[in-house]
Amino acid sequence: MTSSTPPKNDTITKPPVGLYDGVLVQLRQMIFEAELKPEARIVERVLCERLKVSRTPLREAFKVLASEGLVDLLPNCGARVSRFQERDIRDAMEVMGAMEGLAGELAATRASDDVIAEIQSLHYQMHAHYLRRELPEYFRLNQAIHRRIVEAAGNDLLTAHYDSLSLRVARARYLANRLDEERWARAMKEHEAMLACLTRRAGAELRDLLRQHLLNKLSSLLEHFPGAVHTPAPGAAKAQGPRLQGRGSGRAKRSA
């Protein structure tokens, strides 16, 4: 059976080649966890002291984060964490939902039994992290599952476009679970339904579930940023989780 080790290109832990590998991983996680808040200027001196690096790898990491839409580069004064824009999030998540839906429909007929077994194994590992409320580890496996389904579609063009967009929506996908415990629970149930469809090779059903999964995540995220976003995502179920005020300032409740 194919190894079920998550692929190395997962969103949070993917290390690019270069001296800034560890810096990039840590900065990305700090942004995902809102330790570095939207629109906050990143003070290079403070981060250099904390991460024990010089400014060179830090600035190299800024360039990668800018390409992912996570920071804005400022002329002659470093970088600041980019803010969420309703239109950008909506556009990206709607396109991502359509791509993942197509990938699921194709994967249901094209994936080998070994690949499906690999995805199933990743799902069980992810579920274990969910039960322990280990969101970074859960998210790493979550992204591995989504990308493995895309790969299983056997369409190189689809995979290339997916990779291009996935990094730009990673923060939104992560925050939807971090901010909303109810949404995280629903996401887990949706993954169970998706796995069942893939196992049954029910392509059309899997397509619809994957698309709805992204729309539900989008709707939940927009609900938690009332100052910036307020229009429900089309076709998405209304979010039922706790409403948080402000941008990136809250954390999901964690049950034992």
Where are the domains positioned within the chain? 21-81, 86-223
Per-residue pLDDT at 122 exceeds 90 = yes
pLDDT band at 220 (very low <50, low <70, confident <90, very high): confident
Q: How many CA atoms lie within 13 A of 252 on its CB side?
A: 23
Do 55 and 44 touch, CB atoms closer than 8 A? Answer: yes
When mean pLDDT is compared across 3-17, 89-103, 105-119, 202-216, the lowest value belongs to: 3-17
Per-residue pLDDT at 11 exceeds 70 = no
Per-residue pLDDT at 209 exceeds 80 = yes
pTM of the predicted protein model: 0.74
Q: Which residues pair with 71 in a beta bridge?
A: 81
Class of the CATH-defined domain 21-81: mainly alpha
Higher pLDDT, 249 or 86: 86
Per-residue pLDDT at 21 exceeds 90 = no
Domain topology for 86-223: Four Helix Bundle (Hemerythrin (Met), subunit A) (1.20.120)
When mean pLDDT is compared across 38-47, 133-142, 172-181, the lowest value belongs to: 172-181
User: Which residues have C-beta within 8 Å of that of residue 189, sequence separation ≥ 6?
Assistant: none
Instruction: Give the residue-averaged pLDDT of 138-167.
Output: 95
Most confident of 25-29, 47-51, 108-112, 227-231: 108-112
Per-residue pLDDT at 84 exceeds 70 = yes
DSSP letter assigned to residue 189 = H
Instruction: Give the residue-averaged pLDDT of 171-181.
Output: 86
Burial of 161 (0-12, 13-18, 19+ CB in 10 A): middle
Distance CA 125, CA 121 (A): 6
Instruction: Give the residue-averaged pLDDT of 1-13.
Output: 48
Helix 181-200 and helix 156-179, axial crossing angle in degrees, nearest 10: 150
- Give the pLDDT of residue 247: 35
Per-residue pLDDT at 207 exceeds 90 = yes
- Identical topology for domains 21-81 and 86-223: no
Per-residue pLDDT at 14 exceeds 70 = no
